Structure 1
Amino acid sequence: MATHDSSERLGLLLSRCSLGDQSAFTELYDATSAKLFGIAFRILKREAWAEEALQEAYVKIWRYADSYNPGRGRPMTWMINVVRNQSLDLLRKADYRAAEEEWNPDKDGRMSGDNPAAQAETSQEMQRVMRCLSGLTDEQRDCILLSYHQGYTPSEVAARIDRPVGTVKTWIRRGLIKVRECLDQ
């Protein structure tokens, strides 16, 4: 029930943002930024990059709040996709890929267990997602995690697991449908 109430609240905030309500945007940011930062950080593995991706994603969320369609998914899912796409765009820039090898996770404070991003990932919602992922085939789960968790494109996933791109896309699509159905229960 709490997830449904939270989803309704976020949907209302997005609706108010689409009308230019800055206080709604502040409230939306406060309610979602820790979780969305965690997603950006998971993909980019660098605090500064995750912050940059998150900032750009919130600009897009503000500008395109009116494009959120409740019939196509939950508000948090829509925002996660905005952050994920922004993070992947940033990751694909050559200067970010080249510098990736310089990152040392042992020196990055965001990797400790007492930070908001780590706590967001262990939230009840994350536990629900993990439960739903456990109901997938190994292939579906691996492809989804490589794509959404590690930031690989379907072509990169296909090359990594030595399978055709079409097969990988099918596993991802079918797996996501199963996860969505599981989360909606």
Structure 2
Amino acid sequence: MREPVWIGGPARRGPDLEELLGRVARGDQGAFGPVYDALAGPVLGLVRSVLRDPAQSEEVAQEVLVEVWRTAARFRPERGSATNWVLTLAHRRAVDRVRSAQAAADREHRAALLDHTPAFDEVTEQVENRLEREQVRRCLRTLTELQRQSVTLAYYKGLTYREVAGLLTVPLGTVKTRLRDGLIRLRDCLGVSV
């Protein structure tokens, strides 16, 4: 087997990522190019696996690489490789983007629910109506059976006095008297002034 022939001389080993990051941390702009070239693909791949959206993935990958440029001094080789450090930054940034998108969707959902919530005046009116109905029911229970039946048939069912008298099989005059007495008791119970 033949030895490989290197065109242009023997192969030189370039600086590793840890060394390049150290140079970037000291402000060497030229050292960032090889760092970018080595890590842009893996960073984009990791971010895309989290986000799934190509446009957002490219944006987040770019943010991560800018962060690497700005925070290269924070890299500690004793804690792990440069690649792992950068990929950890990328994963965190991608997860933050997912959480941010979810929080925005939750806010929009809550805002949509608020749009469907009845206005304060509608709610107040519903509560007041319910309370008034309860008070009327309570006051109706204070009437005699004939008064309650007469008022209910005449005012809630819309029957005439004559129809009420026919249904209850009592004279028309009795129905009129019971209705008048019942309405007076209701007025007093409800606290309505004349």
Normalization by structure 2: what TM-score? 0.45
Bigger relative contact order (CA 8 A; separation at least 6): 1
Largest Rg, 1 or 2: 2
Normalization by structure 1: what TM-score? 0.47
Q: Determine which structure has the larger helix proportion and give its number.
A: 1
